[in-house]
Structure 1
């Protein structure tokens, strides 16, 4: 009887984690996006350092589920933007992100509409750990986690494809089988955005349009690439997303 009970508990936990996207509420997923947006895709390092302290304090004062997700995400942004430019101060933040998000990912009580954020950033954090520690096997494991996140949540959230594409586009040329995801994922996000303008926010789309153009440098893509670069620039008047890179690439196309 004990073994049967354990099996039922494990099954219930697995079901929660594997819940297909069609059973998630798109409006609730988007509602969480508004509560997490300020800790995602931060490119200003001064702003990031301030936000890191703020989010850590919030979690210390109120260690609830949402604040733990915010903590995992800001640790990810710290690892992405500060770890590789620091000798000591910001080492280990990818692992901190992965640990916080894994605790939530493996919990049977985690709000299911938070799972697209948790699963996607958890996979990306593992990829960052692989880069920091130079353990290539972790990169392979990260792409396995990305695939699971894409299969489960890409219909209700841009994050699985956006983060996988972002990792893939920065890999060396000899990771051919993984680099292909960059072109595929950004194309997929644009298609979904064209079908539903609420799918992704301006910041993500600015990065996405620039990333698509970067993946399509050939002459036959020039017209579409320039159109996307113009959109990337227009969406980002204050240089908070992809505008700077888009302007640079646009000049390259026009030469």
Structure 2
């Protein structure tokens, strides 16, 4: 029995080490190439535009169900659930599960491009958290954070998305989820550090949201100067109000009263 347990532990550690090594071998330029193909379906805050994109992505997938179109489908389902399902009692219910199921299928396929996995794994975890919110099943939230943690461990070195989505979910949790809410401060700080080291790490849209989220988490006097500086960056990066500018401007007014 003892030998069996040791063998099981060794096998588990070998699998984990193999996955981590695979993540470390991801080609950053290929990850960014996938990001370019997915950018228009990520962080869509205009609900009218979102509905239009949803129809287009569904049509494209039915015409050509390849891996990138499947990823786009799963992600736009996520954005639909996030921005529309909680505003409607019927029409958009169930989109969180559609997102999770679609992305899970892609994640579990043995031939999915490894540079696509940071996006699939991250949105898959976020989709599961939305399923938990929609169904009031707290167990799913715990499972979602386990998926987030795996995504961060495996892909955060080459993609902002695991920490960005984990932090975004964490910052919106009620106060009594303090063990998970702590990720909000950590994750946005981590993204900023990586961005400072590599300007190509995250795009303008993500950084606009990130600088605002960092300041939102640190509104006390101790961080006031840095928060205001980051809010100015969030605003400057988003001249057309496509990302964090509106919220950054509102928070800046609050902090300067």
Structures share a fold, TM > 0.5?
yes
Deviation track 1:50-75 (CA, whole Å, cap 9, x = no partner) reads: 00000000001101111000000000
Q: Distance in 1 between matches of 2:18 and 2:89?
A: 40
Q: Which runs of 5+ in 1 are unaligned?
A: 1-12
Q: Distance in 1 between matches of 2:109 and 2:16?
A: 10
Alignment of 1:95-114 (within 5 A): 95-114=97-116
Q: Which runs of 5+ in 2 are unaligned?
A: 1-14
1:170 to 138, 161, 172: 172
Q: Are the equivalent residues in 2 in contact too, given 1:207–1:232 (CA < 8 A)? A: yes
Residue 63 of structure 2 corresponds to residue 58 of structure 1? no
Q: Name 2:231's counterpart in structure 1.
A: 229
* Structure of greater relative contact order (alpha carbons < 8 Å, 6+ residues apart): 1
Alignment of 1:63-102 (within 5 A): 63-102=65-104
Deviation track 1:188-219 (CA, whole Å, cap 9, x = no partner) reads: 00000000000000000000000000000110
Shift of 1:22: 1.7
Q: Name 2:245's counterpart in structure 1.
A: 243
1:186 to 188, 199, 204: 188
SS of 1:20's partner is helix
Deviation track 1:105-129 (CA, whole Å, cap 9, x = no partner) reads: 1111100000000000000000000
Deviation track 1:76-134 (CA, whole Å, cap 9, x = no partner) reads: 00000000000100000000000010001111110000000000000000000000000
Computed over aligned residues only, the root mean square deviation of the Cα atoms, in angstroms, reads 1.4
Deviation track 1:148-207 (CA, whole Å, cap 9, x = no partner) reads: 000000000000000000000000000000000000000000000000000000000000
**TM-score (ref. length: structure 1):** 0.93
Q: Are the equivalent residues in 1 in contact too, given 2:20–2:153 (CA < 8 A)? A: no
Q: Name 1:7's counterpart in structure 2.
A: none
**TM-score (ref. length: structure 2):** 0.92
Shift of 1:15: 8.9
